[in-house]
Chain A
Amino acid sequence: MIPDDKEEQHLLIAEYVLGLHRGERAEEIERWLATDSEAARLAVHWREHWVGAAELLEPARLPPRLWRRLARETGLAVPWWRGLWQSTPTWRFASAALLVALVLAVGPLRQPAPVYTVVLQAPGEAAQPGWRITVADNGDLRLTPLTQQAEYRADRSVQFWTLENNAAGPRSLGLVEPDRGLVIPAEQVGGVESGQLFELTLEPPGGSPESRPTGPVLFIGRAVAL
């Protein structure tokens, strides 16, 4: 029941905005506020004032996953390949720098002479190359592990992907055994261009159930022309 006394009404509104009334009592007050413009105006003022108390709190650090979850739920998420595609300068610079370091470290590359190379790195760890890709002048692609790879769960597969352009989306180049390189013939690889994206992702056993990656990116890099 809403009191008739104005002073009591004011206190009731203050209590309501503070959250001291719950359930049916709160619903009754909400119905009253919906029909009494003066009461509603007072509630708005109280609500505005309480922002001042909230501003006394030290802002929290937002975990990055929170925005990713929110972006997915609101449909504002950008597909990973589009986001990476837009950061070309960073990736090209990182790949080129690592390429120079690798050439100095491992010496001249063996025959057949590669025309493209890619250094695959763990996301966010540009100083730690994990795999190297070389594409020979005949178009064959060789994937070679550079370091001992982490042990992945037996119920997961590592899948190799490339992205030639955003419109076509990513294309699978098959499954990869950790610590074991592989060679993919030119006809399966297709044409390789400078800046083309390659990556390894962790997928369900047997590979992604869809025509695109569904698991986390393990290693990623872009093709650099030699």
Chain B
Amino acid sequence: MDESNHELEQATVLLLACARGDGTAFQRLYRLEAPRMLALARRLCGDPGLAEDALQDTFVQIWRNAGRFQSGKGSARAWMYALLRYRLINQHRRVKRHDAEALPGDDWPDPGPTPEQCSLEADQRQAMQECLRVLQTDRRRPILMAFYHGLTYEQIADTLAVPLGTIKSRVRTGLKGLQECLRL
């Protein structure tokens, strides 16, 4: 088992312990997951102070609602990231856009229209990284802008100065490519 998978399982074990009121497990979970969640929050809201507030609110929510997490419906990490993204996306308080900021995956080569060729031997998370890697740049970039910056179709179109219909078409084609690559 690689380190990433070990961490993923560890997070689930710790979250289940939180549901039993284990404060030490909560602190360990925070140390394990909060650094990358803070990085994501900073990307999503563009303001360090708001990102910290959102992270704090999310962890309070995690502590109070740990009992609602069901391990049969995915990993603890996915559940926690979803809480954070949902909170930030619905705040509508983005104060600064990092429009020109490089996104993870920006420098990946454009492989041409063959997203289905990717290997699905790896686990789900690695599979997503591989599938994004082989997605064409003009489809990958607006998708990553939505994921990392929480932008809507309209905001992406505005930022890239591309007509809204074109952006919608690229995103949906890209998502379809990901869906096929991930075999969903």
Contacts and interface: CB of A to CB of B under 8 A. Distances in A.
A53 B175 contact: no
Interface stretch (B111-119, B144-152, B158-166): B144-152
Interface residues of A, number: 37
Nearest to A69: B56
A101 interface: no
A46 B127 CA distance: 11
Interface in B94-148: 104-105, 124-129, 132, 143-144, 146-148
A1 interface: no
A50 B147 contact: yes
Interface of B is mostly: helix
A45 interface: yes
B6 interface: no
Given A14-B179, A15-B171, A19-B89, A51 B77 contact: yes
A105 interface: no
B152 A49 contact: no
Given A47-B78, A55-B36, A63 B150 contact: no
Interface stretch (A70-78, A135-143, A183-191): A70-78
Contacts of B35: 59-62
Contacts of A14: 175, 178-179
A14 B182 CA distance: 12
A10 interface: yes
Contacts of A54: 36, 40, 81
A42 interface: yes
B47 interface: no
Contacts of B67: none
Interface in B41-60: 42-43, 52, 55-56, 59-60
Nearest to A67: B30
9 tightest Cβ-Cβ pairs between the two chains A and B: A52-B125, A59-B35, A52-B128, A56-B104, A60-B38, A49-B128, A14-B175, A60-B39, A57-B39
Interface of B: 4, 23, 26-27, 30-31, 34-36, 38-40, 42-43, 52, 55-56, 59-60, 63-64, 73-75, 77-78, 81-82, 85, 89-90, 104-105, 124-129, 132, 143-144, 146-148, 150, 152-153, 171-172, 175-176, 178-179, 182, 184
Interface of A: 10-11, 14-15, 18-20, 22, 42, 44-63, 66-67, 69-71, 73-74, 76
30 contacts: A11-B175, A18-B146, A19-B89, A20-B146, A20-B152, A20-B153, A22-B152, A44-B78, A47-B82, A48-B125, A49-B124, A49-B127, A49-B182, A50-B147, A51-B77, A51-B125, A51-B128, A52-B126, A53-B144, A53-B147, A54-B36, A54-B40, A57-B104, A67-B27, A70-B30, A73-B56, A73-B60, A74-B64, A76-B23, A76-B27
